Structure 1
Amino acid sequence: MSAPLRLVLFDVDGTLVDSQGAIVSAMTASFQAQSLPVPSRNAILSIVGLSLPHAMARLASDQSDLVQNALVDGYKQAYHAQRLEQGAASSPLYPGAREVIQALHDMPEVLLGVATGKSKRGLDALLEAHGLEQHFITRQVADHHPSKPHPSMIETALAETGVGAAHSVMVGDTSFDMEMAAAAQVAGIGVSWGYHDRSALSTAQYVIESFEELPVTLANIWD
């Protein structure tokens, strides 16, 4: 009997790639363009993973919807300009990410996917820049879903792939990722190298310290 299909969903920013420099730079440019005080680096990184409107609502809670919308547009423009200028260097892969993704991709029973607060345009450009566009069978982005931690992204990925929740996991660096996993009733694997402190990953089933630990952790969950 063949092994059941498994699904591994990855967050992107802070999990697969270290994009904090690009995020902070684009957020700084956006706030400066509106002549507003720039939030601290910690404040900016705390909202990574949320869709941009939700992120701006937290960072600029005292501003009108009009200003928050302008901040969203400014961020998109600044981030896009950086990506065009720097390419993959604007969001480098974390150590071990490529090797583990390839190893999992080579396993016939394992499907890979993405659940990210990025836009479709941003995700597609990032995966292409790193040569990973063929590795992820399902891509859930902010354009089509409520913001994390709503379970919509995971639920849609399960429906698209036909994999059950019991055979699926969500890998991410933020409390939003782990809360989304819990809401969708899939196992959450937190990563310690991202943008939320390890203490924020309290709903994770496991927390790993490096990508090299992921295959063993998956085996522990599924076996």
Structure 2
Amino acid sequence: MTAPLRLVVFDVDGTLVDSQAGILAAMDAAFGRAALPVPPREEVLGIVGLSLEVAMARLVPDLSAQDHARLAGWYREAYAGQRAREDVAMTSPLYPGAREALQALHGEPATLLGVATGKSARGLDVLFGAHRLAPFFVTRQVADHHPSKPHPSMLRAALDETGVAPRDAVMVGDTEYDMEMARAAGVRAIGVGWGYHAPVRLRAADHVVGRFSELPRAISALWEAA
């Protein structure tokens, strides 16, 4: 009997790469430009994964939608400036074991890999170019084309593009938004304990791993339990 085609979809920031330094610096620049107090670090990291306008509305709910859009634009400008000046591979490093886990999963003939991220297509292209990650992924869903997580649009598009059934897919991410998105799409979810949300917030996950070396086995366990 032929094994079903399976899909593993990864979040990016806080899951594959540790981009917090750039995120915090760009947020400082955006709020400084608006002459607003910069939100605490834990609040900023708590909204990573959301689309920028939604993130700004969470951080400063008393402002208008126009102000949220302005802040998001200034954040994008600051982040793009960083990318132009700095070595992205250094400022947004892969987490230990990430490449090895991707290589192991990519080497499985019946397993496809994808991305669902709050990053823009341009930002993802730059990051993937810096880390030479593009060959691993057959589907890339970005904030440019979808509602913010936890809306299931990104995962539904990934399933449609690959022809994989929801029961044969898993979402891997570090935030509750990733877990909730997976549930909304009928996809199972694995949380990672090294990202921007504490493991206690990943209640909707089927399983939480503490290091990348645990991930292939955790995914296999989900397939075996299906």
TM range (shorter): over 0.9
Q: CA deviation at 1:64?
A: 2.0
Counterpart for residue 193 of structure 1: 194
Q: Deviations over 1:45-103 (max 9, x none)?
A: 01001000100111121112222111111100111111222221121000000111011
Aligned residue runs from structure 1 range 156-195, under 5 A: 156-195=157-196
**RMSD between superposed Cα atoms in Å:** 0.8
Q: CA deviation at 1:131?
A: 0.4
Counterpart for residue 109 of structure 2: 108
1:13–1:48 contact (8 Å) kept in structure 2: yes
Residue type at the aligned position of 1:192 = G
Counterpart for residue 85 of structure 1: 85
Residue type at the aligned position of 2:72 = V
Matched, 1:203 2:204: yes
Q: TM-score, normalised by structure 1?
A: 0.98
Aligned residue runs from structure 1 range 20-59, under 5 A: 20-59=20-59
1:115–1:139 contact (8 Å) kept in structure 2: yes
The number of equivalent residue pairs is 223
Q: CA deviation at 1:27?
A: 0.4
Name the CA distance, whole Å, in 2 between partners of 1:134 and 1:60. 38
Name the CA distance, whole Å, in 2 between partners of 1:2 and 1:88. 39
**Aligned partner of residue 196 in structure 1, secondary structure:** coil
Counterpart for residue 74 of structure 1: 74
Q: CA deviation at 1:2?
A: 2.7
Q: CA deviation at 1:195?
A: 0.4
1:82–1:90 contact (8 Å) kept in structure 2: no
Q: TM-score, normalised by structure 2?
A: 0.97
Residue type at the aligned position of 2:110 = E
Name the CA distance, whole Å, in 1 between partners of 2:83 and 2:107. 29
**Aligned partner of residue 134 in structure 1, secondary structure:** helix
Q: CA deviation at 1:135?
A: 1.0
Residue type at the aligned position of 2:177 = F
Structure 1 segments, 4+ long, off by >4 Å, are none
Counterpart for residue 9 of structure 1: 9
Q: CA deviation at 1:197?
A: 1.0
**Aligned partner of residue 203 in structure 2, secondary structure:** coil
Name the CA distance, whole Å, in 2 between partners of 1:181 and 1:32. 35
**Aligned partner of residue 136 in structure 2, secondary structure:** coil
Residue type at the aligned position of 2:48 = V
Aligned residue runs from structure 1 range 209-220, under 5 A: 209-220=210-221
**Aligned partner of residue 180 in structure 2, secondary structure:** helix
Counterpart for residue 127 of structure 2: 126
Greater mean alpha carbon deviation, residues 63-72 or residues 148-157? 63-72
Residue type at the aligned position of 1:35 = A
**Aligned partner of residue 133 in structure 2, secondary structure:** coil
